Amino acid sequence: MQKRILGKSGLEVSALGLGCMGLSYAYGPATDTQDAIKLIRSAFERGVTFFDSAEAYGPFKNEELLGEALAPMRDKVVIATKFGFIDGLVSSGMDSRPENIRAMTEAALKRLKTDRIDLLYQHRVDPNVPMVDVAGTVKELIEQGKVKHFGLSEAGVNSIRQAHAVQPVTALQSEYSLWWREPEKEILPMLEELGIGFVPFSPLGKGFLTGAINENTQFDKTDYRNTVPRFDAENRKANQAMVNVVTDLAAQKKVTPAQIALAWLLAQKPWIVPIPGTTKLHRLEENIGGADVVLTEADLNEIGAALSKVTVQGARYPAHMQNRVGR
């Protein structure tokens, strides 16, 4: 697989990473540990060198899983994880106090079976802790060699600038895909200006852009998508128009809708590295194939023109989570 560098940081990763959240958290029952390890190692064998986790995924289970899976090839991969919630529990609220960042980092190093975290993100901006304190704490961890690079997730323009002034930000991780293009307004131009890489999560629209989900799809009762307005049955039916655009082009190119969605992201900027997640080996192979799909200027214009006629229905987060993004 081709490599990309996140912004001006010098951090080189595979053009597609693996988002590991769904192996342990949010999308129904956790994957069997041995099956998950097999999937992670299969990703590495196929050229993936960038693996994304967080203390909150489980909590803690996902980091432990990554630590075990990647131990044999630790020096050949880039591991990213995140801090920022009380006891790793999203439901308990945010905690980016310096003492918690330090404690979480020490615990994560043990769970990940490593002596350094390649990319450490603040999972969400904490309104109760000044960004200069957060960035300053991570800067100290970088000076100590425990962390290599600093990242932010779902942060807004002001927070990114404040953090970057204290400790250069290597990457921003936020949602970006064909059906969530909000970052194009302010975020992408600013990242380009500052030389910060962009790591889109949910590049396949939480599975919707694969074409495998429709208005009749029933999610597991523990699946997070049950709470997302965009996944209401009525909105899924309305949003099918978006999938139809992708499916039509995929048929022309003799590839899959997922591969078109990933190729579209990769075509936007050379410093964008999507991190699709999956629990299935055949989907992993399909996603990796997306890195080989080349979209021409004509293809991109065709997609843009078709999508300009489609209005996506439904919010991407439940109301109680909206205040955690874009600060």
* Positions marked catalytic: 57
Tokens 């590295």 belong to residue: 273
Could you give the CA distance from residue 133 to residue 37 in angstroms, rounded to a whole number?
36
Could you give the CA distance from residue 45 to residue 285 in angstroms, rounded to a whole number?
11
CA gyration radius, the chain:
19
Tell me how far CA of residue 130 lies from CA of 97, 98, 135, 199, 321, in angstroms: 9, 10, 9, 24, 20
Neighbours of 2 (CB within 10 A): 10
Best CA proximity match to 48, nearest among 293, 287, 294, 295 = 287
Strand partners, 150: 120, 169
Could you give the CA distance from residue 234 to residue 228 in angstroms, rounded to a whole number?
12
Could you give the CA distance from residue 99 to residue 134 in angstroms, rounded to a whole number?
10
| Backbone φ, ψ for residue 200 (5° rounding) | -75, 125
Number of residues that this document lists for the chain? 327
